Amino acid sequence: MIKAALAISLAIIVIISAITYLSYAASRRIYVIYIATTTSIRDSGLLDVVIPLFEGEMAKQGFSVDVRYSAVGSGQAIEMGRRGDVDIVIAHAPALERRFMDEGYGLCRKIFAYNFFILVGPRDDPLNISNTPSIQEAFRKIFNAGIKGDAKFISRGDNSGTNLKEMEIWGLAGIDPRIVSNGWYIESGKGMGDTLLIAENLNGYTLTDTATWLRFKDKLPHLKVLIEASRELLNVYSVIIVRNAGSIDVAMEFSRFLIGEGQKAIGGYGVKEYGQPIFKPISSADSMVLQWIKEMNMDFGPSC
């Protein structure tokens, strides 16, 4: 009888020890999520602020989370999502995002921030671009000067969100910029920061976003903003959860953070350094911006 009682006691101790070990092991598990993001988000430095905040919030809940990201153009980021290389895509190319969602690769999508595309060029503004009534007319002026050898336009040429917006504007202006190959139209194939530096060195024009411009403008003494905020230049950033994400629950938590507690960090980022936020959180968008988003049908897909 005593032996049986001892055996039962020993078995109970073993079971309790096993449960304790498994609970400890589970608590020490590191959840890794992978993000493909645009270079403008990377170049702005926003993720280097947001990711530690998110990892800290998850740690308070007892989860060890390691967020890793690769910075590429929006087109490449979406392709990485399509291949299943990442759990999350951050992009600013609504047309490509719509196709991604329609094809079933995205589980949900949510706009979390916005800013504007801007046209920058030579500080002395030799073509009087700053007094041009529209971005399409500005592009026409640059094209006409370029084919005469009097201007250079530096395109990213990388299927990024900025490159797609640029090509959209050329289309609206009724121009194929590649039609005259005298070297005035240069495709850098690089990220936004590097493309701005090329424009600086060549005293040329380029389309960029306000976030990257604010981060790089001190390195660009020969350039200035010539065309800025307008409906046509609205630039929205979305977070998309990939349907076959490996850590889908944690990926969803990251999305909720971006559109929840993270909105305060997004709205405050850049204010101290530049006197204004680099990105504007969607939660504080004014009614005009929300109307533009609605009119251009930018807010689509199941919401995260």
Q: What is the structure's pLDDT at 2?
A: 53
Report yes or no: 262 and 54 within 8 Å, Cβ to Cβ: yes
* CA angle (283, 286, 289) in 5-degree steps: 100
- The answer as to whether 2 is a domain residue is no
- The answer as to whether 145 is a domain residue is yes
Residues 77 and 126 in one domain: no
Cα Rg for the chain, rounded, in angstroms?
24
Backbone angles phi, psi at 95, to 5 degrees: -65, -45
Say yes or no to pLDDT of 31 above 50: yes
Residues 241 and 155 in one domain: no
Residues 161 and 228 in one domain: yes
Residues 240 and 93 in one domain: yes
- The answer as to whether 265 is a domain residue is yes
Last residue of a domain, one of 188, 217, 232: 232
Q: In percent, how much of the chain has pLDDT > 70?
A: 91
Per-residue pLDDT band at 43 (split at 50, 70, 90) = confident
Say yes or no to pLDDT of 158 above 50: yes
Segment 210-239 shows an average pLDDT of 95
Segment 18-31 shows an average pLDDT of 53
Q: What is the pLDDT of residues 48-86, one digit of tens each?
A: 999 999 999 999 999 999 999 999 999 999 999 999 999
- The answer as to whether 13 is a domain residue is no
Say yes or no to pLDDT of 282 above 80: yes
Residues 197 and 213 in one domain: yes
Query: Which has more confidence, 228 or 180?
Result: 228
Residue entry with tokens 């350039």 = 223
Q: Residue 270 belongs to a domain with what CATH number?
A: 3.40.190.10
Residue entry with tokens 């078995």 = 11
Residues 135 and 227 in one domain: yes
Q: What is the pLDDT of residues 160-178, one digit of tens each?
A: 999 999 999 999 999 999 9
Q: What is the structure's pLDDT at 11?
A: 43
- The answer as to whether 241 is a domain residue is yes
Q: In percent, how much of the chain has pLDDT > 90?
A: 83
Domain count, the chain: 2
Domain range for 105 is 28-115+236-295
Query: Which has more confidence, 242 or 19?
Result: 242
Q: What is the structure's pLDDT at 28?
A: 56
CA distance 164 to 210: 16
Last residue of a domain, one of 232, 267, 287: 232
Say yes or no to pLDDT of 18 above 80: no
Question: How far is CA 74 from its chain centroid?
Answer: 7
How many helices, marked H, and strands, marked E, lie in the chain?
13, 10
Q: Write down the mean pLDDT value for the chain.
A: 91
Last residue of a domain, one of 210, 232, 254: 232
Spell out the alpha helix ranges (H) of 28-148: 39-44, 47-60, 74-83, 94-102, 135-146
- The answer as to whether 300 is a domain residue is no
- The answer as to whether 123 is a domain residue is yes
Residues 72 and 148 in one domain: no
Residues 49 and 62 in one domain: yes
Report yes or no: 74 and 91 within 8 Å, Cβ to Cβ: yes
pTM here is 0.86
Q: What is the structure's pLDDT at 23?
A: 45
Segment 109-124 shows an average pLDDT of 98
CA distance 251 to 12: 38
Kind of pairing, strands 88-91 and 234-242? antiparallel
